[in-house]
Amino acid sequence: MDVRISFVFILNTLLGAQGLQSSVKDATCCVPTQFEAKVYMDAELVFLDTTSSVSRPLTAYSMFNYTVHLAYDYDRQQLYMHANVTETSPLIPHPVTDSVLYLFDHKHGVMYTVNGGHDGKCQKDNSTVPMSQQCIPDDALLQRNSAIGNPSLQPLAAKVYQYEVKGDPDAFPFYIQAFVKQNGKQCLPMKLHVVTAGGSGTMNAWVMNFVNLTQGIQDPSIFSVPGPCRGATQVTKITTAQEPKWKQALEVLLGTIN
C-alpha cells in the first residue's frame, strides 16, 4: 500500500472515524470538537523480501516527510487535510515531491481528493463511515508525566498514554503512544508515535508533531468543495484497505475509520 495514501488513512482514522473511543462519557479525555493545526510527520515504510534466494531476507525502505494543514470539525462532520510530501529511498534515483488535498464531508458521505493541491485533478468518492469525537480510551495506559521542550525555557507539560486502535476488523492494529496536553476531560494532541504492520512483509511507523494548534475554525470556507471538484462525478467507493497508509494513520487519530 502506498505510504502517501496510508498517511491519510492514519490521520483520518486517528482524528475522524470511530477509531479511538466509542463512549466519550467514559473516555480519559477528548480533543476539542473544532481545531486547526500544522502537522509535521515523518513516516517510514520497511519492505521485507522473504522470497529472496540469499541466506537471509532482503530489506528496503522509503522515508516520507509530510507538512499538513489540518482542520478538524466534529460539529460539522468535516475534515480537511492539505499535505505536501517528500519521499526518499534507495529504490528511487532522487527525492520525489507531491501535494495532495483531502476533504471529508461525513455528513453527506463524500470524500474529495485533489492531486497537485488546490488546482489539481479531482476525484470524488463515497465515504460512508460516520465521524466520531476523538478521545484517549479509558483503558489507555498512562506511561508517565513528561515535558516537551528545553527544561530551562518553560517546557510544555505532557501526559504520555499508550493504547491500541484497530481501524478495520481484518487489519493489523495501530500501536499508539500519544503525548497530550490534558486539562480535565480535554486533551490537545502534541506528539504521536504510531506503528503498524502492513502485511506482505511490510512495517509502517509514523511520528507526528502538532504545532500552532488553535481551537475553533478560523475560516469555515476551508470546507467548501474545492474548485476542481465542482460538478465532479462520484466514481468509487473507498474502503480502508484501498487507502494510502499515511492517510490511514491520520484517520485513526482523527476518527474517520471504523
Q: What is the mean pLDDT of the chain?
A: 78
- Higher-confidence residue of 40 and 1: namely 40
Overall average pLDDT of the 156-167 stretch:
85
Cα–Cα distance, 234 to 252 (Å, whole number): 24
Say which range, 53-67, 80-94, 98-112, 177-191, has the weakest mean pLDDT. 53-67
Overall average pLDDT of the 171-179 stretch:
83
Whether residue 13 contacts residue 249, with contact meaning beta carbons closer than 8 Å, is answered with: yes
Count CB-CB contacts under 10 A for residue 100.
Answer: 24
CATH class, 3-255 region? mainly beta
SS3 state at 245: helix
Instruction: Give the residue extent of every domain in the chain.
Output: 3-255
Overall average pLDDT of the 136-162 stretch:
87
DSSP 219: -
Supply 89's cell numbers: 529511498
Overall average pLDDT of the 133-160 stretch:
86
Q: Which pLDDT belongs to residue 23?
A: 55
Supply 212's cell numbers: 500552532
- Higher-confidence residue of 4 and 98: namely 98
Say which range, 36-45, 113-122, 157-166, has the weakest mean pLDDT. 113-122
Q: Which pLDDT belongs to residue 1?
A: 38
Overall average pLDDT of the 220-240 stretch:
73
Q: Which pLDDT belongs to residue 137?
A: 87
Cα–Cα distance, 246 to 45 (Å, whole number): 10
Say which range, 44-48, 131-135, 186-190, has the weakest mean pLDDT. 44-48
Q: Which pLDDT belongs to residue 5?
A: 47
70 has a pLDDT exceeding 90: yes
69 has a pLDDT exceeding 50: yes
Q: Which pLDDT belongs to residue 53?
A: 58
Percent of the chain, pLDDT > 90?
26
- Residues 253, 133, 130, 105: is their CA dihedral positive or negative? negative
DSSP 134: -
Say which range, 13-27, 119-133, 187-201, has the weakest mean pLDDT. 13-27
pTM score, whole prediction: 0.78
Q: Which pLDDT belongs to residue 257?
A: 40
DSSP states along 149-212 = S-TTS-PEEEEEEEEEE-SSTTSPPEEEEEEEEEETTEEEEEEEEEEEEEETTEEEEEEEEEEE
Q: Which residues pair with 179 in a beta bridge?
A: 160, 191
